[in-house]
Amino acid sequence: MKRLLITGAGGGMGRVMRERLATLAETLRLSDVAPMEAAGPREEVVYCDLADRDGMMRLVEGCDGIVHLGGISREDSFSRIMQANILGLYNLYEAARAHGMPRIIFASSNHVVGFYRQDQFIDTRAPALPDTLYGVSKCYGEALAKMYYHKFGLETAIVRIGSCFEMPRSHRMMASWLSYADFTSLVETIFKAPRVGCTTIWGVSNNDARWWDNSEANFLGWRPKDNAEDYRLAMESSTTTPDPNSADAIYQGGPFTSFGIKPD
């Protein structure tokens, strides 16, 4: 690609992917409202609010692909989620439609299915059971991506990210963990694939304890290599085992299922 846009480049995953995805394009365009490091070689740093329609139009112009990590990444008030994850995503898709229909990787979340139990093994056809307003906003994002594909042909890989960190940090993450290396290889696979359509993919490594079936996306050829089991001893030595009657031990969304509604 000539230019790859990464939104949310100032966040945790964005900072990691800024380095790991540098070889995918001649130029990385990096965007956020949060502080970012100054532009390096073959980088463009652009501060832009997702809710700014005109700013988003300028941001997307000239981009061949988009990794959309931007927006609110946890539970928050509805007003903040609405601006970033609902209005902001609409602005992104309208900008993409206006500027050459670049392929999009949309960072969805496991919290669209947070109220499934941890003893259930589900695929991407399972009905949504969001656990938070944040999870609801990701359901909206998935629906928006599907509409733009079927109405306009704009391709999106919907990646339902589990828990993307350097290593698993809790018992729950023994199932939901996605390594940086596996996410990097997934992004590379998506942009190299001749066809993506609008495909939903579980963003999860090859964990023995995983809850999610990725067979619907097998045609892409992505095969995660890392396994949370390699870190079990380190995780168990640094964390406590959750109460078996707690949300953290019962539901796939863990403690998100017990959050209240945050007032505006």
Q: What is the spatial distance between Cα 35 and Cα 33, in angstroms, rounded to a whole number?
A: 7
Q: Are the CB atoms for 59 and 31 separated by under 8 Å?
A: yes
DSSP secondary structure of 148-169: HHHHH---EEEEEE-EESSS--
Q: Are the CB atoms for 42 and 22 separated by under 8 Å?
A: yes
Residue 93 appears among annotated catalytic residues: no
Tokens of 51: 């809710």
DSSP secondary structure of 184-218: HHHHHHHHH-S---EEEEEE----TT--EE-GGGG
Active-site residue identified among 90, 93, 116, 134: 134
User: How far apart, in Å, are the Cα atoms of 4 and each of 21, 170, 187?
Assistant: 9, 33, 11
Task: Name every residue whose Cβ is closer than 8 Å to that of residue 137 and which is 6 or more positions away in sequence.
Answer: 71, 72, 81, 82, 85, 86
- Catalytic positions are 134
